[in-house]
Structure 1
Amino acid sequence: MWQQLLLQLQAGDRRALARCISLVENEQEGYMTFLQDLPARQAPVIGITGPPGAGKSSLADALIGTMTSAGKKVGVICVDPSSPFNLGAVLGDRIRMNRWFNHPDVYIRSLASRGSLGGLNQMIIEITAVLQAVGFDYILIETVGIGQSEVEIAGLADTTLVVLVPEAGDEIQTMKAGVMEIADIFVVNKSDRPDADRFVANLKQMQAPAFNRSKREIPVIKTVAHLQKGIKDLIEAIETDINASTQNDRKIVLLTRRLLQIIQRLRMKDIKPALVQQRIEEKLAEGEFQLFRLATEFTHI
């Protein structure tokens, strides 16, 4: 089955692509061998994150439009909030990007975050590798926008866009370091609104040596996504960042993070949450629950 799917995948079969993603996401038997047989392609991964209401989906839509107009193929992963009851995706981003459903150069897939604290699906690295094997020129990943815990995207994306709006105003001063420090590019969307220029100036001021330990200056790009304003400037900044990341240690650090995440999950695969919960209940009933002793018990499985 897997070998046939691989052949169909390399032939550009979209149905095979959809099935492969589903099988990999659900860790169907043989998925790891399938992943090992994928061709080693490195299409750049662009992460889009930021607070709710910043216009991440509109920005992704605008990027897709400009990229496809230039003859590029784009794969898109929208990580949607999960239902707390069945961990299924709400699929809201598909509704906002419906004009790309049947476009031959665009593939959009919604995934549930399934309770992941980092705002991403736990199989996102593997699913991204499947998309890269198909031959897309860009992979866009939009996170759920749950707030400060989305630093996980920095371990996956070659370039991370942190999307903000002028209304954030003074809130930018109180944002936790996590989301602010993962930015490769700041995107001030809806920049036709009042105080946009002042907000951009504040972002740039935050990068002054007195406030920022990083030696590199992070570009700040103004956009109005629904009007396609600033999108070409943004793509130029993305290309510049991608080219820079392939020429320094950032690429090695990025790949190290990805590999460590895969190793960690593979080592955890035999530890079932139901079993952990059962052991906690037993220890609590015995009056002998101790967090670190129980953790050691599971690490010796």
Structure 2
Amino acid sequence: MSLVEALLAGERLALARLLSQVENDTPAGRAGLDALYAHTGRAHLVGITGSPGTGKSSLVNQLALALRRPPEGTPPLRVAIVAVDPSSPFSGGALLGDRVRMRDLSGDPGVFIRSMASRGALGGLARATAAAVQVLDAAGFDMILIETVGAGQSEVDIARLAHTTLVVEAPGLGDDIQAIKAGILEIADILVVNKADLPGADNTERALRMMLELANPGRDPHEHQGWRVPVLRTVAAQAQGIPEVIAAVQQHAQHLRSSGEWHSRDRARLTHELEDRLRSTLAEEFHRRLPAADYEAAVEALLQRQLSPSQAVEKLLRQADPARSPQSGSSNG
């Protein structure tokens, strides 16, 4: 039985092995993704982002516990967690500590936790995060919680990947104004003030509501593409406010489906992934065609200020494809 067949049959070991292949971008991983793609598109992808210290991991832990232990009469959901940890800029390694913080979930066959090193990728996600999410989607998980690195304001890539994005804030971090400058509030479908038992929670909630008003002049400050962005309070360490967050996540999923926005977000996500893969594939093909000496000569021409970067690109393209017509205003150098 192949890894793909074993994964579709529900074998967790096959799932873990295929995720490793995908994360390392091996031929087997790429083949597995191709084979599994037809089985994707069913999971609800939920992103959790915010600055370090807001308690994202604790919140994710409590959300998963509540989804696995719902009120009587409600079936539990199968939940996967992808937790992206920052890599060391020196060794490339990562602590991958989210599994340590999520010990309450260990032993539950309906939960799968995967920690991933960011490997230097910007935007809060690892380069293989989207591919890992596809594997977990094909494995039949109902909801996939994607926790970003926690670098704060640059973490907007999650909005391209997730259907629903939670932005987590906490009192006393002093980054409220920077958050709106970076536009991180613009990606929020749900705002969560975690650690709401700490002093300053009222001020943090008030600041978030004020920033929503500043970001949406002339209309309901909480409304975003027909969805009214809620500002919720939680104390994840004590499991307070978790049912309200889950209710908001499920209501947002219903809104996306009823409004057609679910399809639109899937289309935007897949378009972005296609363009990203196309760029990387074309770059690899370009370097295969172009002699290394020509590339080094272009770099040297840049250093000597003999060519501008745009002129160097045009020259390299013509060297790789002699039939290419020169662009207007370009120079042969």
Normalised by the length of structure 1, the TM-score is 0.88
- In the superposition, relative to structure 1, how do residues 89 and 298 fare at CA in structure 2: closer, same or farther (>3 Å)? farther
Deviation of 1:260 (Å) = 2.5
Paired residue for 2:196, among 182, 188, 191? 191
1:34 corresponds to which residue?
A: 32
Greater mean alpha carbon deviation, residues 33-42 or residues 62-71: 33-42
- In the superposition, relative to structure 1, how do residues 88 and 279 fare at CA in structure 2: closer, same or farther (>3 Å)? farther
Deviation of 1:255 (Å) = 1.8
**8 Å Cα contact 1:25-1:123 kept in structure 2:** yes
Greater mean alpha carbon deviation, residues 39-48 or residues 154-163: 39-48
1:241 corresponds to which residue?
A: 252
Paired residue for 1:104, among 94, 105, 109? 109
2:262 corresponds to which residue?
A: 251
What whole-Å deviation, never above 9, does each CA across 1:142-181 have from its counterpart, x for those lacking one? Answer: 0001121111000011110100002145x42332242111
Q: Amino acid of the residue matched to residue 291 of structure 1? A: P
1:173 to 2:184 alignment: no
In the aligned structure 1, how far is the partner of 2:244 from the partner of 2:251?
11
- In the superposition, relative to structure 1, how do residues 298 and 229 fare at CA in structure 2: closer, same or farther (>3 Å)? farther
In the aligned structure 1, how far is the partner of 2:152 from the partner of 2:317?
31
Deviation of 1:282 (Å) = 4.0
Deviation of 1:212 (Å) = 1.5
Deviation of 1:226 (Å) = 0.6
Aligned length: 296
In the aligned structure 1, how far is the partner of 2:239 from the partner of 2:11?
31
- In the superposition, relative to structure 1, how do residues 18 and 289 fare at CA in structure 2: closer, same or farther (>3 Å)? farther
Greater mean alpha carbon deviation, residues 154-163 or residues 215-224: 215-224
In the alignment, structure 1 segments of 5+ residues that lack a partner are none
In the aligned structure 1, how far is the partner of 2:268 from the partner of 2:150?
22
The structure number with the bigger radius of gyration is 2
In the aligned structure 2, how far is the partner of 1:92 from the partner of 1:258?
28
* Higher RCO, 1 vs 2 (CA within 8 Å, ≥6 residues apart): 1
- In the superposition, relative to structure 1, how do residues 289 and 16 fare at CA in structure 2: closer, same or farther (>3 Å)? farther
In the aligned structure 2, how far is the partner of 1:85 from the partner of 1:200?
38
1:292 to 2:305 alignment: no
Q: Amino acid of the residue matched to residue 86 of structure 2? A: P
What whole-Å deviation, never above 9, does each CA across 1:218-259 have from its counterpart, x for those lacking one? Answer: 101100001000000110011001111122243233223322
Normalised by the length of structure 2, the TM-score is 0.80
Identical aligned residues as a percent: 40
In the aligned structure 2, how far is the partner of 1:63 from the partner of 1:279?
54
Deviation of 1:33 (Å) = 4.3
